[in-house]
Amino acid sequence: MILFDNGFDAPSSYLLGSAGLCGRGTCDHGTAASWRRHQESPVTTVWIIVRNISVNPNGQANFDTVQSAIDAVPANNPGWIRIHVASGVYREKVTIPMNKTFIMLEGDGRENTSIEWDDYNSTDHSHHRNVHVDATATFDCSADNFIARSISFKGVRPAVAAQVSGDRVSFYNCGFISVQDVCIVMRMKNRHLSDLQGRHLYQNCYIEGGIDFIFGHARSIFQLPAGIAPGFITAHGRWEAEQHDEFVFTECTVDGVTPVYLGRAWRDFARVIFYRTSMSSIVVRRGWSAWHSVGHERNLTMLECECTGQGSNRTGRAPWSRAVSATQIARFTSLSYISADGWIEAQPH
């Protein structure tokens, strides 16, 4: 499930460890030992930063590219490492593989620090190759326990801005911008998953994109202040009733300049919830599309609750979508739904 929320107050008890910046191209471990958490569930210890890495193309940092800093993180890293990325535009693809866990990627503000690339979801005629949508992502995170703060990810051409498939992943004050097709991809790892894997939080983020610019089948919460959304905001891919996956938007703003649907069903058990979201007139009256699930509408869960604005008028909405009470969806709109073990509260700040 994905929950976008604009009103979560982070606990004030988070701690930051002290660790000096390391020499260019190498890093030293901090001396703090309290980063280790109890191995049992739930998470009972607040993590701290044990290592700092800096990125700046002007040569006054440990590395001059984001990917080189990621590569410096040891495989199966056990403690949080903060990678601070200075203001600027970094024109590169960035990949965080599954074994590069516990990374915090921190910019100088989503208006100031951005990672941009221009892969294209089509045939690249100049190089005679076909580029699949999964391969176009400017930023691709497959690792568990990842945090991004105050940084933007951009797909310069029609491509994916960010692709996320790890568990316990959160984005704070970030931007996701794509020309069309897809802005963010949320998908499970290519292996059997328990109910608690693939949990994502997007808090106070800005998302701008086109058709299906949020698609996939993770358990995620979006807490967004604003987003421009021509086309379809979501294409959820839940394919069976037993999956505990959904996109949940809470206290968000949907605005823009061209008509938009709240979502369409990518697969037959898609589940999307808009809660206390401000919807401008760009939201089309029908609101939802069954897409490939025509004939299976009874399996779709497209819900709206306490939304406001001209676009929240449900006159003319798809008849199989529903308006519900806050009580009916309370378990989905609480952060505890994706953080029952306390992983969000234990993150370093």
Q: Determine how many CB atoms are found less than 10 A away from the CB of residue 339.
A: 22
Active site residue 212: yes
- CA-nearest of 71, 66, 58 to 26 is 71
- CA-nearest of 224, 239, 131 to 187 is 239
Query: Which amino acid belongs to residue 102?
Result: F
- Largest interatomic CA distance in the chain: 62
Q: Is 165:198 a contact under the CB 8 Å cutoff?
A: yes
The residue annotated as part of the active site, out of 5, 144, 167, 212, is: 212
Sign of dihedral through CA atoms 66, 68, 73, 75? positive
Query: Which amino acid belongs to residue 344?
Result: I
- CA-nearest of 154, 153, 143 to 80 is 143
Distance, CA of 270 to CA of 266 (rounded, Å): 7
Sign of dihedral through CA atoms 35, 38, 39, 44? negative
Distance, CA of 333 to CA of 7 (rounded, Å): 12
* Backbone torsions φ then ψ of 174, nearest 5 degrees: -105, 165
Distance, CA of 77 to CA of 102 (rounded, Å): 7
Please provide the DSSP assignment of 239-275 as one string.
-STT---EEEEES-EEB-SS-EESEEESSTT-EEEEE
The residue annotated as part of the active site, out of 5, 119, 144, 181, is: 181
SS3 (DSSP) at 304: strand
- CA-nearest of 294, 196, 311, 200 to 253 is 311
Distance, CA of 207 to CA of 224 (rounded, Å): 8
Q: Is 77:46 a contact under the CB 8 Å cutoff?
A: no
Give the pair of three-digit tokens for residue 93: 């693809």
Question: Which residues are catalytically annotated?
Answer: 181, 212
